[in-house]
Structure 1
Amino acid sequence: MSPSLTCTSLSFAWPDGTPVFDGLDVAFGPGRTGLVGVNGSGKTTLLKLVAGELTPTDGAVRTTGEVGYLPQNVTLDTALRVDEALGIAAKRAALHAIEAGDAAGEHFDTLGDDWDVEERALATLGELGLGHLGLDRGVGEVSGGESVLLRLAALLLARPDVLLLDEPTNNLDLYARRRLYAAVASWPGVLLVVSHDRELLDLVDQIADLRAGEITWYGGNFSAYEDALAVEQEAAERMVRVAEADWRKQKRELSDAQMKLARRKRYGQKMWDSKREPKIVMGARKRAAQESAGKHRIMHEEKLAEARERLDEAVEAVRDDDEIRVDLPYTAVPPGRDVLTLRDVAPAYGARVAGVFELRGPERVALVGRNGAGKTTLLRTIAGELEPVTGEARAHVPLRFLPQRLDVLDGGLTVAENVARFAPGATNNRIRARLARFLFRGTRADQKADTLSGGERFRAALAALMLAEPAPQLLLLDEPTNNLDMASVRQLTTALESYEGALVVASHDLPFLESLGITRWLLLEGGELRETTPEALTDPA
């Protein structure tokens, strides 16, 4: 039987009663499916329901075969060895006991037919770039990106029939991403992946678009999906224009009909007042006129209501993925102005910057390198969060740092209150007016930070930093696209288009970096910082 995943009448609501799914029916067969949708649409929730980490309010999830799940945030027990994290420790122990001459039956039962378990494990680690780890090494020595790959290696070794991946490229460097792409491209069973990574989504066979608790299917990869969506949206916008024209026409016809009826009523009243006809004739004529007028009015009102309904349906079909549009004149940095100077900086750990590195004017710098190279440490040192062991990191303009964890927000405060912390001199009206440009309009600005979705939280943190006083003329961003959906990535890109200061972005997301108009590419490698090009950032293997 082919592996499959089926959700029947699936319903789920959060403890506070907020519904996520209400009677969802969907099935996934063999092949690679990309699950897309705006932040908060329920993508991660659906994967957790399938993986059994959440229980449906109603309905059922059925799978044929084993399910493997790679969550968005991978945490491994640091006390484990690599073979324990891979789930093969018991089989290895049994294999070693047999090789040592212990012929106890339980060893053969534990090992089964998996006599090549060590070879397969080492081969899998090698394919994912983890060959240097070995099976006896402690997990505590593994970096964040390596822990994701280690969890993926465990899933590949287990060979589940259904594989669920939730933002698997988060925390992976460029080289690790290439290895993940290869694993996804060769996956033989059912694969369901949630990601904002374009390159990864271009490897799938179909796109499942989750919106308002329903899934719409699109054949082909993400690029084909975008093309189809563009055609669909163009047609939807045309329908809006047609429906608007029809609605205006029905409004005019109703207005004209009301004017005609008013004239008839005045004429009938005039005839009644002048008593030119017998009273019984005029009364019958008046009743007939009233009945006709009522039918006429009802007919036009029904036509107008139908036109309004068609317009509402047409508007609903047009996606309202708003873009951030902000005017930030006070962030401007004149060309040639000193922005940042690094002089023989040796951070607490990671790469050092030998000699003098200078950033001038509104340059846009991409900071790239392997996981563990020291990009975050360098940014934290520039931001003043870490003292360098030697040397000096000096910013000549106001700067702000947006870390991966988004911990610049106080979860107990509202969005507006968080922004006020960074701009204490701004009035409440000014803060709300500027927040509206970051899509926090009206009561949305009064949401507590800890109730926001991932994309909303990022947008709020970005607003807090970019609207801070004094205005930041140097902005440091650390992996800003992690956990963002494609719409949020576009919103971030448009917001940064309005930013006129200097920008340093650490990211493994090449398409995103290229969309920012990067002027300098810096690579942290081998303990040193050097200039590079996007073309050079390919897997040397």
Structure 2
Amino acid sequence: MTRSHMTMTYLTLDGVTCVLPDGRTLFSDLSESFDDRHTGLVGGNGVGKSVLARILAGRQEPVRGRCVRAASVHYLAQRVADDPDESVATLAGAGDMIAALERIEAGSTDQCDFDAVGDRWTVREQLRDALDAEGLAHVDARGPTHALSGGEAMRVALLGARLHAADYLILDEPSNHLDHEGRLALMQWLRGWQGGLLVVSHDRQLLGPMERIVELSSRGLRSYGGDYAFYEQVRREERQAAERALDARKTERKRGEQALREQQERQAQRQARGQRDASRANQAPILLGGRKSRSEGSAGKLKRQQEITRDTLSQRVAEAARQVESEAPLSVLAPNATHVARRRVALLERVELPFVRGAAGTADLVLMGGQRVGVVGSNGSGKSTLLQVLAGRVAPRGGHVDVPVPVAWLDQRLSTLDACRPVIDHMREANPAAAEDALRLRLALLGLDADKVAVPAAQLSGGERLKAALALALVADPPPQLLLLDEPGNHLDLASLEALETMLQQYEGSLVVVSHDEIFLDRLRLTDRLSPTPAGWRMTPW
């Protein structure tokens, strides 16, 4: 559907600065306008995208500067069901209106209740119809959100965004917890949205149709006047240009140092020639002393000039190197798994999966060395339970399980991390024989510096915790020959996601990965697709 552009500015940032409670500046002096173009906000984990989204939505005030809103804004937070006792209606943004309506029906004449309802006298019926249309007919609008799955909670919150009569939508990671069908439905709805839109996301499929990409980094806020493919192209060209500039600066320094050496050699030759001439000439000692002083002074001046030139050349190289570092993607070191092509790494025989109903509740599966399997299917179909059984974390209700190789398992809740312990302690425990420097290098390559690895895991952001759990899974001794990953892309920023893709492409062991991210799965060089069907679990070529 083609959207009609009004070229209207909805939100304006004017010198906005945010300082964290510990005194650190998260971002400063941000100025940008957001109009009717559908815009994707991207950036590394921890740079402040969610904070900026809250400031734009009026949910948080900046320390300095201001945000001017010329339209009504509906905001959807990343964690949509933080309060488990919150009602479904409240999650959908209709709780206050329905409560006010019920008070009016009970006899209230309070003007505040009438203001809350406005002209939405049929809000209960609208919410009920919307839940039914969304395939959530079983959901009680008055019930608590803790009865919902993560995917259902996100769908209810998105439903509220549809019902809200706002001019501008701000959605923070709206595709989190949605299955493939849910993501497609979200994208279709957003394509038809005629108002302003800002989507904070790492979901490349969701970002693809955006009309503009804005990137938040330590250098500020930068707008790219095109879709996500254009953004990727520009960033790739900038990275290549930064690398070329670094090579040029290194060559410049090499030539400069060579010129300085030649200059120094010529100066030394002149000094030696002058000393020879002076020794042969019949000159008074005072004249000889004066000539020597002038020569030494000239040599000292030349040395100082050369030191300044060397410093300047080195500074140029250092600046170019910093630019390359800022453009370079993160790295993930793959474990050294032994690749045995036909060795069996897992066997499930008539295994009855707990908590799973229907045909998908029973699984027969054989996994061989080097086999790379993508597990796909709707939420609640048993994908995570299947991985837990393979990992030995959950006992089956029946059947035979045999996994004779070392396994690394990464679940959605990151349960391998103790929230009270520092990441580096987890790493030492997983591989006691590894050198401390090697363990810290793995974490640093994931963007976790010395300060981050020394604090309890609970103090890390969601993306940082996922990186730590990934590093923990990959550093184990003996190295894993079977990797089990349950939605590993959740909460990872784009650079980290690309690094993970590169690592998994290089990994030679067996891989089973659950994901709803089709772009991510397509880049992993998978061999097979495993999905639940009415006839049970089915393996087909990828």
Query: Does TM, scored on the shorter chain, surpass 0.5?
Result: yes
Aligned partner of residue 376 in structure 2, secondary structure: strand
CA distances 1:344-364 after superposition (whole Å, capped 9, x unpaired): 413134554436322222211
Residue 455 of structure 2 corresponds to which residue in structure 1? 448
CA distance in 2, matches of 1:105, 1:55: 30
1:37 aligned residue (43, 68, 71):
43
Residue 381 of structure 2 corresponds to which residue in structure 1? 373
Aligned partner of residue 369 in structure 1, secondary structure: coil
Post-superposition offset of 1:97: 9.7
Pair 1:97–1:464, CA change in 2 (3 A) = closer
Structure 2 residue 167 is the aligned partner of structure 1 residue 197: no
Of 481-490 and 102-111, more deviation after overlay is shown by: 102-111
Aligned partner of residue 220 in structure 1, secondary structure: coil
Structure 2 residue 74 is the aligned partner of structure 1 residue 68: yes
> Any gaps of 5 or more consecutive residues in structure 2?
1-6
Residue 512 of structure 2 corresponds to which residue in structure 1? 504
CA distance in 2, matches of 1:169, 1:127: 19
Pair 1:364–1:2, CA change in 2 (3 A) = same
Residue 4 of structure 2 corresponds to which residue in structure 1? none
Amino acid at match of 1:341: L
CA distances 1:144-186 after superposition (whole Å, capped 9, x unpaired): 1111121122122223333222221111100110111123223
1:406 aligned residue (394, 397, 414):
414
1:241 aligned residue (243, 247, 250):
247
CA distance in 2, matches of 1:488, 1:88: 37
Post-superposition offset of 1:418: 0.8
2:477 aligned residue (466, 469, 472):
469
Is the 1:364–1:520 contact (alpha carbons within 8 Å) kept by the matching residues of 2? Answer: yes
Structure 2 residue 324 is the aligned partner of structure 1 residue 341: no
Is the 1:91–1:117 contact (alpha carbons within 8 Å) kept by the matching residues of 2? Answer: yes
Pair 1:311–1:418, CA change in 2 (3 A) = same
1:251 aligned residue (247, 257, 263):
257
Structure 2 residue 244 is the aligned partner of structure 1 residue 220: no
CA distance in 2, matches of 1:469, 1:207: 42
Structure 2 residue 405 is the aligned partner of structure 1 residue 397: yes
CA distance in 2, matches of 1:49, 1:94: 28
CA distances 1:316-359 after superposition (whole Å, capped 9, x unpaired): 332132322335044x3441425232424131345544363222
Residue 34 of structure 2 corresponds to which residue in structure 1? 28
CA distance in 2, matches of 1:89, 1:456: 34
Residue 178 of structure 2 corresponds to which residue in structure 1? 172
1:435 aligned residue (442, 462, 478):
442
Q: CA RMSD in A?
A: 3.5
CA distance in 2, matches of 1:89, 1:39: 32
Residue 270 of structure 2 corresponds to which residue in structure 1? 264
Is the 1:339–1:502 contact (alpha carbons within 8 Å) kept by the matching residues of 2? Answer: no
Structure 1 residues 139-178: aligned runs within 5 Å: 139-178=145-184
Structure 2 residue 20 is the aligned partner of structure 1 residue 14: yes
CA distances 1:115-160 after superposition (whole Å, capped 9, x unpaired): 5545654565466554564645654432211111211221222233
CA distances 1:280-315 after superposition (whole Å, capped 9, x unpaired): 655665565456545544554444443333333333
What is the percent sequence identity of the aligned residues? 35
CA distance in 2, matches of 1:95, 1:434: 59
Is the 2:179–2:516 contact (alpha carbons within 8 Å) kept by the matching residues of 1? Answer: yes
Residue 417 of structure 1 corresponds to which residue in structure 2? 425
Post-superposition offset of 1:31: 1.7
Post-superposition offset of 1:412: 4.0
Residue 359 of structure 1 corresponds to which residue in structure 2? 367
1:326 aligned residue (316, 320, 334):
334
CA distance in 1, matches of 2:350, 2:531: 17
Post-superposition offset of 1:442: 8.2
Pair 1:121–1:150, CA change in 2 (3 A) = same
Post-superposition offset of 1:51: 3.8
Residue 491 of structure 1 corresponds to which residue in structure 2? 499
Of 78-87 and 172-181, more deviation after overlay is shown by: 78-87
Is the 1:413–1:449 contact (alpha carbons within 8 Å) kept by the matching residues of 2? Answer: yes
Aligned partner of residue 386 in structure 2, secondary structure: helix
CA distance in 2, matches of 1:302, 1:321: 34
CA distance in 2, matches of 1:275, 1:202: 83
Aligned residues: 531
CA distances 1:443-466 after superposition (whole Å, capped 9, x unpaired): 478533524444443232122222
Structure 2 residue 56 is the aligned partner of structure 1 residue 47: no
Is the 1:398–1:472 contact (alpha carbons within 8 Å) kept by the matching residues of 2? Answer: yes
Post-superposition offset of 1:201: 0.6
Is the 2:335–2:475 contact (alpha carbons within 8 Å) kept by the matching residues of 1? Answer: no
Pair 1:233–1:277, CA change in 2 (3 A) = same
CA distance in 1, matches of 2:388, 2:218: 39
Is the 2:345–2:367 contact (alpha carbons within 8 Å) kept by the matching residues of 1? Answer: yes
Is the 1:326–1:438 contact (alpha carbons within 8 Å) kept by the matching residues of 2? Answer: no
**Normalised by the size of structure 2, how large is the TM-score?**
0.86
Post-superposition offset of 1:210: 1.8
Structure 2 residue 192 is the aligned partner of structure 1 residue 186: yes
Post-superposition offset of 1:203: 1.6
Aligned partner of residue 160 in structure 1, secondary structure: coil
Residue 211 of structure 1 corresponds to which residue in structure 2? 217
CA distance in 1, matches of 2:168, 2:497: 29
CA distance in 1, matches of 2:441, 2:465: 16
Aligned partner of residue 357 in structure 1, secondary structure: strand
Is the 2:375–2:513 contact (alpha carbons within 8 Å) kept by the matching residues of 1? Answer: yes
Pair 1:312–1:433, CA change in 2 (3 A) = closer
Amino acid at match of 2:342: P
2:390 aligned residue (382, 391, 400):
382
Pair 1:281–1:239, CA change in 2 (3 A) = same
**Normalised by the size of structure 1, how large is the TM-score?**
0.86
Is the 1:129–1:176 contact (alpha carbons within 8 Å) kept by the matching residues of 2? Answer: no
Of 130-139 and 521-530, more deviation after overlay is shown by: 130-139
Is the 2:17–2:64 contact (alpha carbons within 8 Å) kept by the matching residues of 1? Answer: yes
Amino acid at match of 1:518: L
